[in-house]
Amino acid sequence: MQAYVEAVNERISHLVSADKDSDLSAAMHYSLINGGKRIRPALFLSIVDAFREDWEAFIDMAVALEMVHTYSLIHDDLPAMDDDVMRRGKPTLHVAFSESTAILSGDALLTDAFSLIANIDTMNTSRRLCAIKILSEGAGSKGMVKGQMLDLKYENTDTSVKTLNHIHAHKTGRLIAAAMMMGACAAGEDPTAFESIGIELGLAFQIQDDILEATTDETTMGKSFSDAKHNKSTYVSYSGIDGAKQALSHRFQSIREALKNLPIDVTKIEPLIQAIETRTH
Ligand code: GRG
């Protein structure tokens, strides 16, 4: 995991410079550099590695994923959405710069991500197209954006676990699934099997987020806690800490079982699953 994260950080530093004459590039740099755990790009690279491909050749696709994820966090923090003031241990982008700069930086990160993938000319066109299709579908109106819309719709409402799962399978699950599926695309393999595993991992990730939010503090997590402010139901508010922990353990068990059935070198992914399972922020 460390090797993937270091490679992603190095490539981000190379690709995104903090141009003093451009508020837009300074703002994109501010959000992208430092702080993020780089889980989605690391997952993508581990799948490429598990198919025994040279993962370092696919680093720009990993960075593109992090750019889409970072855009989603910037927009999620805006006053019109969660209205949060801390992210990745720093003031959120609209607080550090301005609301309009935060909106435009998110727009730019999302758009530039696709240009980055389209320009990986060392990669065969059908693999690039497969990745672009999956990333756009995972992030767009049937994926993460739909999840965000549902999340806003169900604020101030008592939801069932079924509805919570539906929201988070889209909001958190679809981009994590896209990361894994893009790993298969990049290796020239069929991505289908990774869709349900990725969504399962996204749901586990969200349950964990809710448990951490209930058991730790904003400084440790490096972000504002705003679920209570918006009266959002969480896995903990619905099932209690013990119930949420039990659901989490079931999900990780089924993720490991599903991965074992695939024709890949699972030892490349297991350390990452382990790191996600035991994360503290
Ligand atoms: C605005 C279109 C749009 C979508 C926003 C991802 C998202 C949808 C909102 C984030 C809200 C949130 C806190 C969800 C919980 C799970 C999650 C995605 C946490 C943040 O991801 P990490 O922990 O963050 O990987 P870092 O900072 O480590 O990259």
Residue range 222-269, pLDDT digits in tens: 988 888 778 888 999 999 999 999 999 999 999 999 999 999 999 999
Mutate to test the pocket of ligand 1, among 8, 32, 76, 220 (most ligand atoms within 8 A of CB): 76
pLDDT at 207: 95
- Of all protein residues, whose CA lies closest to atom 4 belonging to ligand 1? 72
pLDDT at 226: 81
| Reported pTM | 0.96
- Tokens 């805006």 -> residue: 78
Give the burial class of 173: count Cβ atoms within 10 A of its Cβ; 0-12 exposed, 13-18 middle, 19 or more buried: buried
Cβ(11) – ligand 1 distance below 6 Å: no
Cβ(72) – ligand 1 distance below 6 Å: yes
CA distance 123 to 107: 26
pLDDT at 138: 98
Q: What are the CA-CA distances from residue 90 to residues 19, 35, 42, 93, 231 (Å)?
A: 20, 8, 23, 9, 24
pLDDT at 19: 77
And the tokens for 91?
């003031």
Close Cβ partners of 204 (under 8 Å, ≥ 6 residues apart): 248, 251, 252, 255, 276, 277
- Of all protein residues, whose CA lies closest to atom 15 belonging to ligand 1? 206
CA distance 39 to 276: 8
Query: How far does the centroid of ligand 1 lie from the alpha carbon of residue 73, in Å?
Result: 5
Structural domains present in the chain: 2-277 (1.10.600.10)
Regions of the chain where pLDDT drops below 50: none
Using DSSP, state whether 90 is helix, strand or coil.
Answer: strand
Query: How far does the centroid of ligand 1 lie from the alpha carbon of residue 263, in Å?
Result: 30
- Tokens 């209570």 -> residue: 228
pLDDT at 115: 98
Atom number, ligand 1, closest to the C-alpha of residue 38: 29
And the tokens for 138?
């995972």
Give the chain's end-to-end CA distance (angstroms, integer): 16
pLDDT at 229: 78
pLDDT at 8: 97
pLDDT at 171: 97
